[in-house]
Structure 1
Amino acid sequence: MQRVPLGRFMGVTIFLWSLIVFLHCTATSYGGLIPLRLFLGMVEATVVPAIEITLGMFFVPEVHGILQPLFWVSCMGAPIPAGFIAYGLLYSHSAVAPWKLFIITTGGLTFFLSIIAWFLYPNNPAEARFLSLEERLFLVTRIHDATTSSIEYKKVKQSQLREVVRDPVSWLFGLQAFTLMISNNIAYQQNLLFVSIGVDDLGSTLVSAASGGFSVACCIVATLLLRYVPWRRAYWGTFWCLPAIAGGIGMAALDWNRKESLLACLILAGGTFGITYIIALGWTTSTAAGYTKKLARNVFFMAGYGIANLISPQIWVPSDAPRYYPAWIIQIVISWAGTPLILIVIDVILSRRNKERYAWIAQQEAAGKTRTGVIEQIDADGNKTEVEVDISLLDLTDLENKYFIYPL
Structure 2
Amino acid sequence: MSKGEESTHVDQVECKGATDSEKASSMNEQATIVYDEVESKRILRKVDMRLLPCLTLLYLLSFLDRGNMGNARTLGMQKDLGLSGPQWNICLTIFFFPYCAFEIPSNVVLKLLPANLWVSILVVCWGTCMTLMSLVSNYKGLLAARFFLGFAEAGFFPAATYLLTCWYRRAELQGRLSVFFSAGSMAGAFSGLLAYGINYMHGIAHLAGWQWILMLEGLVTVLVGFACFFFLPNGPATATFLTPDERTFLIERLKSDNGGASGKVDTNEPFQWKYMKDALTDWKIYISVLIYWGNAISTYGFIYTLPSVITELGYSAANAQLLTIPVYVFALSVTILAAFLSDRYESRSNFIIYPCIVAAIGYIGLLSLPHPGMPGATYGMLFVVAGGLYPLICGVISWNANNLAGSWKRSIGMALQISIGGMGGAVGSNIYLSKEAPHYWTGYGVSLAVITMAFFAAIFLRWKLNKINKERDAMSLEEIHSKYTEQELKEMGDRSPLFRYIL
Scaled to the shorter chain, the TM-score interval is 0.7 to 0.9
Q: CA deviation at 1:371?
A: 8.3
> Alignment partner for residue 318 of structure 2, among 202, 206, 211?
202
> Alignment partner for residue 277 of structure 2, among 153, 156, 162?
162
Q: CA deviation at 1:292?
A: 2.2
> Alignment partner for residue 105 of structure 1, among 216, 238, 260?
216
Mapped partners of 1:309, 1:370: distance in 2:
43
Mapped partners of 1:260, 1:404: distance in 2:
50
**Which structure 2 residues correspond to residues 204-219 of structure 1 after superposition, within 5 A?**
204-219=320-335
2:193 corresponding residue in structure 1: 84
Q: CA deviation at 1:370?
A: 11
**Which structure 2 residues correspond to residues 252-401 of structure 1 after superposition, within 5 A?**
252-256=367-371, 257-334=373-450, 336-364=451-479, 372-373=486-487, 396-399=492-495, 401=496
Which one-letter code corresponds to 2:437 in the other structure? A
Which one-letter code corresponds to 2:251 in the other structure? V
1:403 equivalent to 2:498? Answer yes
Mapped partners of 1:231, 1:149: distance in 2:
19
Q: 1:156 to 1:38 in 2, by over 3 A?
A: farther
**Structure 2 length as normaliser, TM-score?**
0.72
1:119 equivalent to 2:214? Answer no
Measured against aligned partners, the alpha-carbon deviations of 1:209-247 in whole angstroms (never above 9, x if no partner) come to 22221111112321343244x373112101112221122
CA-atom RMSD, angstroms? 2.3
Mapped partners of 1:231, 1:242: distance in 2:
20
Q: Is the 8 A contact 2:161 2:177 kept in 1?
A: no
Structure 1, unmatched stretches of 5+, are: 375-390
Q: Is the 8 A contact 2:290 2:453 kept in 1?
A: no
**Partner SS state of residue 22, structure 1:** helix
Q: CA deviation at 1:325?
A: 1.5
1:180 equivalent to 2:289? Answer no
Which one-letter code corresponds to 2:235 in the other structure? N
Structure 2, unmatched stretches of 5+, are: 1-109, 259-263
Q: 1:129 to 1:82 in 2, by over 3 A?
A: farther
Q: CA deviation at 1:364?
A: 4.8
Q: 1:58 to 1:349 in 2, by over 3 A?
A: same
Mapped partners of 1:133, 1:316: distance in 2:
54
Mapped partners of 2:383, 2:133: distance in 1:
29
**Partner SS state of residue 78, structure 1:** helix
1:136 equivalent to 2:232? Answer no
Measured against aligned partners, the alpha-carbon deviations of 1:244-294 in whole angstroms (never above 9, x if no partner) come to 112211211123311111111123213431211111012122211122211
Q: 1:364 to 1:66 in 2, by over 3 A?
A: farther
Q: Is the 8 A contact 1:191 1:204 kept in 2?
A: yes
2:168 corresponding residue in structure 1: 59
Measured against aligned partners, the alpha-carbon deviations of 1:99-132 in whole angstroms (never above 9, x if no partner) come to 1221222112212321232112122111122222
Q: CA deviation at 1:51?
A: 1.0
Mapped partners of 1:299, 1:73: distance in 2:
20
Mapped partners of 1:204, 1:297: distance in 2:
39
**Greater CA drift, 35-44 or 137-146:** 35-44
**Partner SS state of residue 122, structure 1:** coil
Mapped partners of 1:356, 1:199: distance in 2:
58
Mapped partners of 2:276, 2:334: distance in 1:
36
Q: Is the 8 A contact 1:361 1:403 kept in 2?
A: no
Q: CA deviation at 1:28?
A: 1.0
**Partner SS state of residue 182, structure 1:** helix
User: Percent identity among equivalent residues?
Assistant: 21
Which one-letter code corresponds to 1:162 in the other structure? K
1:247 corresponding residue in structure 2: 362
**Partner SS state of residue 91, structure 1:** helix
Q: 1:32 to 1:371 in 2, by over 3 A?
A: same
Q: CA deviation at 1:363?
A: 3.6
**Partner SS state of residue 185, structure 1:** helix
Q: Is the 8 A contact 1:178 1:305 kept in 2?
A: yes
Which one-letter code corresponds to 1:407 in the other structure? I
Mapped partners of 1:197, 1:111: distance in 2:
37
2:182 corresponding residue in structure 1: 73
Q: CA deviation at 1:337?
A: 1.3
Mapped partners of 2:396, 2:467: distance in 1:
19
For these two proteins, the number of residue pairs brought into alignment is 385
